[in-house]
Amino acid sequence: MPKKQTIIGPSLPNIPWEEKPKSCKDVVWRSTLNPIITRDAVPRASTIFNSAVIPYKGAFAGVFRCDSKSYEECLHFGKSKDGFKWDINPEPIKLITGDPDLEQEGTGYDPRVCWLEDRYYITWCNSYYGPTIGVAHTTDFKKYYQLENAFLPFNRNGVLFPRKINNKYAMLSRPSGPGHNTFGNIFYSESPDMNYWGKHRLVMKTKPGWQCAKIGAGPIPIETTEGWLLIYHGVRITCNGFIYCAGAALLDIDKPWKTLYRTGPYIMAPWEIYECAGDVPNVVFPCSTLSDAPTGRIAIYYGAADTTTCLAYTQVDTLIDYIKSNSIK
Ligand code: BMA
């Protein structure tokens, strides 16, 4: 059957891809090569997870969360020819800051990478008297220029939109607290210059079930004919701690703070052993996607159990149908 072509964006013929197994009834299926990145990729790393990849010069580049063997959270650059096998720099990224007051108080984690206009922007959970959203840009993944933190502490999961909306830069984030919070909703903010962020709007609140405690934006939203496709994580509190699942939503193209549809059921939950066992058990945490507009293929990179980096797949039209037919208010 011909597919409805709904991604608005470039083609990526070399997208990493494995066909859906015939036995799989789910909207998302996992790579048979998972986990694709383990701690062995970097000598100083204890874990490599919650990382962001992007097409780069006919191949792929990424910014990886590598927690060290002394548990410093660090960002490392990596490159790959095929999106499966990654060559990650052994040393962390060094940021160039124009202002000594901005220098990181601590470390950084959970990066996202966004191609926007003429450069790559990296957002991450930065440590500046508590977690907040760090922003830097690069054109070559060699020199990274740090901008102002987007928000006051405490905030996490800052995710840029890949183009200006209503002539403003746009970002999703989750205002939060200093520790392992049991609350958090997704907000939208805009900026004329990537420096001053404001006009904050609520996008989505927690809902009962897998997304009852807190929710946060995952990969950079994908523009589609049906709205912005947002994959996000949701957290449930159990007698044994947090469980991190993933869901999906469609946001209005011109007013992305308006949620059109969001899934009642999750699209991914910690099922496989590598998602259930690790430094933090029971976590799937998507941070980036690659997509190919002509075929509607989407590859999802996610952190598993705060230990390894994994890959899963979906097809845009099937996912959009799933979101619409399983939507909750
Ligand atoms: C959050 C962040 C994520 C992590 C998650 C589950 O607070 O630290 O990086 O995946 O907890 O441990």
Distance separating alpha carbons of residues 204 and 209, to the nearest angstrom = 15
Nearest-CA residue for atom 2 of ligand 1: 110
pTM > 0.95: yes or no: yes
Whether 226 is in the pocket of ligand 1, judged by its Cβ within 6 Å, is: no
Q: Name which of 14, 106, 28 is nearest 313 in CA terms.
A: 28
Atom of ligand 1 nearest to the CA of 280: 12
Q: What is the pLDDT of residue 31?
A: 98
Q: What is the pLDDT of residue 326?
A: 98
Distance 11 CA to ligand 1 centre (A): 32
Whether 148 is in the pocket of ligand 1, judged by its Cβ within 6 Å, is: no
Q: What is the pLDDT of residue 105?
A: 63
Pocket test for ligand 1, best of 215, 283, 308, 310 (most atoms within 8 A of CB): 283
**E strand or H helix at 114:** strand 108-116
Q: What is the pLDDT of residue 276?
A: 98
> Does residue 299 contact residue 16 with C-beta atoms inside 8 Å?
yes
Distance separating alpha carbons of residues 23 and 176, to the nearest angstrom = 40
Which residues neighbour 321 within 8 Å (Cβ) at sequence distance 6 or greater? none
**E strand or H helix at 42:** none
Q: What is the pLDDT of residue 171?
A: 99
2: DSSP letter: P
> Does residue 142 contact residue 136 with C-beta atoms inside 8 Å?
no
Nearest-CA residue for atom 10 of ligand 1: 306
> How far does CA 27 lie from the centroid of its chain?
18
Nearest-CA residue for atom 9 of ligand 1: 110
> Does residue 77 contact residue 88 with C-beta atoms inside 8 Å?
yes
Q: Return averaged pLDDT per consecutive 10 residues of the chain, 329 residues in all.
A: 76 98 97 98 98 98 97 96 98 91 80 98 95 97 96 98 98 94 96 98 98 98 98 97 98 98 98 98 98 97 99 97 96
Distance 284 CA to ligand 1 centre (A): 10
The Cα-based distances of 203 to 94, 136, 172 in angstroms read 33, 24, 8
Q: What is the pLDDT of residue 106?
A: 63
118: DSSP letter: T
